[in-house]
Amino acid sequence: MLGFGRQRPWLTLVVAFCVLLVVDLVLKLLGTELFVFGTKALGGSLAPAALTAFVLDGVIVGMAVGLAAVGLSMTYSILNFANFAHGDYITGGAFVGWTAAYLVVSGGADLTTRFLLSSNLGLTVLGTPIATVVGLIAAAAGTIVLTLVLDRLVYRPMRDADGISLLIASIGVALVLRYLIAFVWQTGKHGVTAGPTKITALGIITRTSHEWTLLVVGGVLMVGVHVLLQFTKLGTAMRAMADNKDLARVSGIPVERVTRMTWIVGGGLTGVAGYLLVLEGGTIVFNFGWTLLLLIFSAVILGGIGSIYGAMAGGLCIGIVDKLALIWLPSDLTRAAVFAVLIVVLLVRPEGLFGGVKTA
Amino acid sequence: MSTQTTTSDATRTDEPGLLSIRDLDSGYGELQVLNGVDLDVGAGAYVAIVGPNGAGKSTVMKSVFGLTTHMGGTIRFDGAEIAGQDPETIIHHGISYVPQNGNIFPTLTTRENLEMGAYILDSVPEDRMEIVFDRFPILAERQSQKAGTLSGGQRQMLAMGRALMLDPQLLLLDEPSAGLAPDLVAEMFDRIGAINDAGTAVLLVEQNAKEALSRCDRGYVLVQGENRYMDTGETLLEDETVRQQFLGG
């Protein structure tokens, strides 16, 4: 199977198709059309501004997916299993965060309404900054508590079990979590934000305040993860554990403590990702994390399983492909484009973009 | 330098025991591998365990470092009973362990590998780092290189360097010459001898019995989980039975 992707015909086909897309894109940007046998084959019209808008849309979505993917990849590489409950950690964190924001914000709603998010209080970053920030912190803290409690109850007692057993256990955790959330907050969609203000930066890029928030917070956290991993003792120990857990233990690295820290960092990022996705999208529903999980797993796999930088890059890639595909495909089909790219990458480079380098 | 170490054994064996194993039963889960093993390592001594495959040589070492299931007997180190403790505790007593396989962190740089060796300290001991770099100059040259890109010999040096970062009283080496090119084996033993000459006690498990016994103060021949012979390395090398049965004549 491994040699499959290295066979010429595949690679040639993929390269040819990519070249075709690029040519088409250039023609579209130039506003020219190319006719073959009297039918339009290539080209069309696409304003350069539209292209940048697509890319930026992609970066915004990709940032959130990437953040969530980092959390998933960290637990994958250091604890050695694919956590299928990760999507529901995202949902859980988002609900905790938004409930906290609702409890803090001033307004005429009663406590039950606030707690159950049952009417849209129209939060915005600029209109209700304190509630938004409190919610963000609560989302991180809530997800951290959630991951630690679940680790203690479910994963720690089976720490030495194989990856498949842990994976199956995590599916159980996912279901329990999802329907607990549905039990408390119901299965309907809750609108939580009001239309955000548009802000223009650098004189050209205009985005909503919520999209800017996602970009800035996401960017800062990704740089933060990089600094943690590369320049701190804890981060080096996390990488060491991802490399060789047995050797980490005999070197005197407190394996349980580093594991706990991994859940804390990964959980915090996951909660923030969930919270920001809702901030950007405006609505929250009990299974939104679960429906994102496939995309997040794709980001992790695209980047190379277990590679934290790969997860960031994979998330961004997937976001950008998802939005760029709109140039050629109707919006219902862009997910298909994402998975097509994933399949092609896996054929050409089965270990993923950053595969084999793990956390480094 | 090897001749010096092999002649000093008579006096070394009378030194107070740093590590003293008595009647050790040990294994993995339900499986018992060691059966009543006795072993002593004096302060600053150089002791080798040799014997056929599956004799339990590595298990002795793992038992000392708390990586096996303790089933009976005592392991005293520097006056304290350490049997049944976990590695995270034992490393604080002054014992470091170099496993045979997977003894480096491949995606970490050489320097980061060494830093991880001193994880239990509050800060990286730069003076120890210098000592390790003096002992293995190639590691200083390669300090910002990923450990996974080092050659076999360099990896083994890095593994020992990592273990030396805490300046242990006792260094446990599991088959340090395994997988090395023949011309590197003697060099590796020279380096181990130098570490020992600097005052660190060494307990070594080796397939390469002739080389190990010719260098050590004292050797143990382990067969089927039991001590079969114990003497100075030199005597064991000259012993007809040991030669015939375990050293291939």
Residues ≥6 apart with Cβ < 8 Å to A100: A134, A135, A137, A138, A139, A142
Q: For residue A355, give the chain B residue with the closest CA.
A: B107
Q: Which two tokens stand for residue A320?
A: 């950008």
Predicted local confidence at residue A356, as pLDDT: 56
Return the pLDDT at A4.
47
Mean pLDDT across the stretch A22-50?
80
Closest Cα in chain A to B165: A251
pLDDT band, residue A285 (cuts 50/70/90) = very high
A252 touches B at CB < 8 Å: yes
Residues of A in Cβ contact (< 8 Å) with B102? 244, 246-247
Lowest mean pLDDT among A82-96, A108-122, B182-196: A108-122
Q: What is the DSSP string of A10-45?
A: HHHHHHHHHHHHHHHHHHHHHT-EEEETTEEEEE--
Q: What is the pLDDT of residue B3?
A: 32
Name the pLDDT band for B226 (thresholds 50, 70, 90): confident
Chain A contact for B210 (CB, 8 A cutoff):
no
pLDDT at res. B103: 93
Nearest to A240 among B65, B103, B105 (CB): B105
Whether the CB of A229 is below 8 Å from some CB of chain B: the reply is no
CA distance to partner chain A, nearest, from residue B108 (Å)? 7
Contact A77, A258 (CB under 8 A): no
pLDDT band of residue B227 (cuts 50, 70, 90) is confident
More confident position, B207 or A119 = B207
* Rounded percentage of chain B residues whose pLDDT exceeds 90: 65
Tell me which residue has tokens 């000392």. Answer: B64
CB atoms within 10 A of CB A66: 29
| C-beta atoms of B97 and A250 within 8 A | yes
* Subunit contact A252:B91, Cβ cutoff 8 A: yes
Tell me the shortest Cα–Cα distance from A304 to chain B, in angstroms: 15
Q: d(Cα A352, Cα A99) in Å, to the nearest integer?
A: 38
CA distances from B24 to A354, B82, B184 (A): 47, 12, 34
pLDDT computed for residue A346 by the predictor: 83
A246 interface with B at CB cutoff 8 Å: yes
Query: Which of B87, B107, B112 faces A250 most closely, judged by CB atoms?
Result: B87
Say what the pLDDT of residue A349 is: 81
Is the pLDDT higher at B212 or at B13?
Answer: B212
**Is residue A85 over pLDDT 90?**
yes
Looking at beta carbons, which residues of chain A come within 8 Å of B97?
250
How sure is the predictor about A359, in pLDDT bands with cuts at 50, 70 and 90? very low
A259 and B CB contact within 8 Å: no
pLDDT of residue B146: 94
pLDDT in the model for residue B13: 44
Provide the token pair at A343. 């399949």
Q: Does A258 touch chain B (CB under 8 A)?
A: no
pLDDT of residue A332: 84
pLDDT band at A11 (very low <50, low <70, confident <90, very high): confident
- Above 80 in pLDDT, residue B25? yes
Helix (H) or strand (E) run with residue B24 in it: strand B17-28
pLDDT at residue B4 is higher than 70:
no
Paired sense of beta strands B218-223 and B226-232, if any? antiparallel
* A258-284 residue pLDDT tens: 989 988 999 999 999 999 999 998 899
**For residue B161, what is the nearest residue in chain A, using CA coordinates?**
A251
Which of A232, A249, A251 is best to mutate for the B interface (most B CBs within 10 A)? Answer: A251
At A215-247, the pLDDT tens digits run 999 999 999 999 999 999 999 999 999 889 899
B1-87+197-249 to CATH, choices 3.40.50.2300, 3.40.50.300, 3.60.70.12, 3.40.50.620: 3.40.50.300
Q: Which of A233, A244, A357 sits opposite B105 (nearest CB)?
A: A244
**Residue partners of B68: CB distance under 8 A and separation at least 6:** B26, B27, B28, B33, B59, B62
Domains of chain A from N-terminus onward: 1-46 (no CATH), 47-348 (1.10.3470)
Cα dihedral sign, B52-B53-B55-B60: positive
Whether chain B has a CB inside 8 Å of the CB on A334: the answer is no
Could you say which residues from 339 to 358 on chain A have a Cβ atom under 8 Å away from some Cβ of chain B?
357-358
Query: Which range (A33-37, A290-294, B87-91) has the least confidence?
Result: A33-37
Pick the residue with more confidence: A32 or A235?
A: A235
> Of the ranges A185-194, A308-317, B165-174, B182-191, which is most confident?
B165-174
> Which ranges constitute the DSSP H helices of A232-333?
233-243, 245-250, 255-281, 288-303, 308-324
**Taking a C-beta distance cutoff of 8 angstroms, is the pair A316, A64 a contact?**
no
Residues of A in contact with B67 (CB under 8 A): 250
Contact B88 A248 (CB under 8 A): no
Q: Do A244 and B102 touch (CB under 8 A)?
A: yes
The first and second tokens of residue A266, run together, are 């990964």
CA dihedral sign of residues B13, B17, B23, B26: negative
Average pLDDT over residues A329-338: 86
Instruction: Confirm if B87 and B65 have CB atoms less than 8 A apart.
Output: yes
CA–CA separation, B188 vs A87, rounded Å? 51
Per-residue pLDDT tens digits for B90-127? 999 999 999 998 999 999 999 999 999 999 999 889 99
Least confident stretch, A331-340, B134-143, B196-205, B234-243: B234-243
Q: What is the band of B249 on the pLDDT scale with cuts at 50, 70, 90?
A: low
- Tell whether A251 is within 8 A of chain B (Cβ): yes
Residues in B 14-73 with any Cβ partner in A closer than 8 A: 65, 67
pLDDT > 70 in chain B, percent: 92
Residue A76 Cα, gap to closest chain B Cα (Å)? 16
Q: Do B108 and A243 touch (CB under 8 A)?
A: yes
A243 → closest Cβ in B65, B92, B105: B105
- pLDDT over 90, % of chain A: 39
- Tokens 């090398």 — which residue? B237
pLDDT confidence of B242, banded at 50, 70, 90?
confident
Where is average pLDDT lowest: A202-206, B98-102, B142-146? A202-206
A233 to B88: CB separation less than 8 angstroms, yes or no: no
CB-based contacts of A49: which residues, under 8 Å, 6+ apart? none
- Please answer yes or no on whether A246 and B106 come within 8 Å at the CB atom: no
Q: What is the pLDDT of residue A8?
A: 65
Are A236 and B115 an interchain contact pair (Cβ–Cβ within 8 Å)? Answer: yes
Burial group, residue B249, by CB count within 10 angstroms (0-12, 13-18, 19+): exposed
Give pLDDT, residue A110.
80
Find the mean pLDDT for residues B2-20.
51
Q: What is the pLDDT of residues A111-143, one digit of tens each?
A: 787 878 777 777 887 778 888 899 999 999 999
Listed by start position, the domains of chain B span 1-87+197-249
Give the pLDDT of residue A7: 56
CB contact under 8 A, B112 and A233: no
Residue type, B13: T
